[in-house]
Structure 1
């Protein structure tokens, strides 16, 4: 699509007393979500550590325009969203992507300068074909539940038991599960269809060396450990895992563990000790 889309971008400036001489951070959400998934967790956490933080909602997501034509957006449209917001920042950012967002920031790094990448429970460079098989084999009822939600936006149509099993750890409080369900939305069927096509060529020609962190969720029912390891190998870094957390690690119980891993990595590469 060639339309100009008004994108929602949440901004948390760095704590003035702790401001670092570091690149800005740009957070990119996963499927079915928006910038809101970082709003009460990662954004204030990293702003307090002295980083200038931004999170965008992709077209048709969160507070961005285009919800009425969500299914028309392609992966290239979403890549244009990332490029537009990243290009407006005062310096090349560190891109922190979750799930679909992780896939997008990897693609963005192929064509634009970035300071670094943090990939959290990320779709691997070759797409979702392996994940589709993984969920289908290990939890076909979860795949069916996700498919049902894709066609019903109303929160009261979401099976909360399936949602918890698919995305979260068992310790997430019910109130936070309810809050997530109330804001979750369907995803672009066109973008999902593109993402499910095998893309083995995306594993080659990555812009290395580049500071990169790859973190997997130990209780992830969507992205398999093998996918996490494959992504890390493609970038020439070790895979790291946070054992007691589910796929939706931006808001799951224990998200602070993941944020701490990212903070340690940022401090080593961009900002000294935290």
Structure 2
């Protein structure tokens, strides 16, 4: 996979990677790049902007202006002294800063924990739409599954390859799984516990009534954190569309099958906008 040439700029403790639109590369019959919103890709817990590299390449080739975000303490950014107690409010501030830096309301894509942060950001800034990929549930979602809490006295270390395989990527071969796990970051225990203990509510009525939203479910997602039916319930909660990909794992952006899953998702996104 060849990543397009990207510029990177610091946004306080976060970092935004950007590729300008290439209108000449747009697919035949597609809307011109000038008429489409920019895309902002937001990763989930333990990850970084690197997890979107394949999507960045596809979106760039199809003429979209695309941006991917390293949240504070992720993607090779060293966590500062406050990172252990940083939670959803601080991480959402990074997403808001990225939206402000882009300058035009973007289509904001959030994966896992990022799928909750981008909704919170959309309560604070205009966006062109939301794509929530295997998203964490809002804390006030009826029937949402709680997850055992972690120790908040120290950072949560990156997951091992075995843990990452079970939770994120059962489709990856051992060598690819080890390479992915080596890129994972330590995580804020406060952020994890806010999500695990369902402490991050969202008022869906506060979102614009005409905001396009699509929730994507991976049929091979981790049932402890994403039990069957939860993503469809999230879609109902937000009044969103729902797309279930039966063979997709949690990290459906990576490894065998990602191109087909991307195409299925993006066909729905372009119809939605």
Normalised by the length of structure 1, the TM-score is 0.81
User: After the TM superposition, which of the residue ranges 103-112 and 194-203 deviates more from structure 2?
Assistant: 194-203
Structural mapping, 1:152-191, within 5 Å? 152-153=157-158, 158=160, 160-170=161-171, 172-191=172-191
Shift of 1:69: 4.2
Question: Is 1:71 paired with 2:84?
Answer: yes
Distance 1:99 1:176 in 2: 20
Residues 56 and 66 of structure 2 are in contact (CA less than 8 Å); yes or no, is this contact kept in structure 1? Answer: yes
Residues 61 and 67 of structure 1 are in contact (CA less than 8 Å); yes or no, is this contact kept in structure 2? Answer: no
Q: 1:166 to 1:269 in 2, by over 3 A?
A: closer
* Count of residue correspondences: 251
Shift of 1:162: 3.4
User: After the TM superposition, which of the residue ranges 250-259 and 239-248 deviates more from structure 2?
Assistant: 250-259
> SS of the counterpart of 1:130?
coil
Partner residue in 1 for 2:230: 227
Residues 204 and 238 of structure 2 are in contact (CA less than 8 Å); yes or no, is this contact kept in structure 1? Answer: no
Please, which of 36, 40, 53 is the counterpart of residue 66 of structure 2?
Answer: 53
Q: 1:84 to 1:201 in 2, by over 3 A?
A: closer
Partner residue in 1 for 2:211: 210
Q: 1:206 to 1:216 in 2, by over 3 A?
A: farther
Shift of 1:127: 7.1
Q: 1:62 to 1:201 in 2, by over 3 A?
A: closer
Shift of 1:44: 0.6
Distance 1:252 1:203 in 2: 35
Structural mapping, 1:138-153, within 5 Å? 151-153=156-158
Partner residue in 1 for 2:131: 118
Shift of 1:234: 1.5
Distance 2:163 2:195 in 1: 23
CA deviation vs aligned residue, 1:153-193 (integer Å, no higher than 9, x gap): 4x7xx2x33321221133x2322211111111221011112
Judging by fraction of residues, say which structure has more helix: 1
Shift of 1:201: 4.9
> SS of the counterpart of 1:225?
coil
Distance 1:201 1:70 in 2: 22
Gaps of 5+ in 1: 137-142
Question: Is 1:43 paired with 2:63?
Answer: no
Please, which of 243, 246, 249 is the counterpart of residue 249 of structure 2?
Answer: 246
Gaps of 5+ in 2: 1-10, 27-31
Residues 242 and 258 of structure 1 are in contact (CA less than 8 Å); yes or no, is this contact kept in structure 2? Answer: yes
Residues 26 and 54 of structure 1 are in contact (CA less than 8 Å); yes or no, is this contact kept in structure 2? Answer: yes
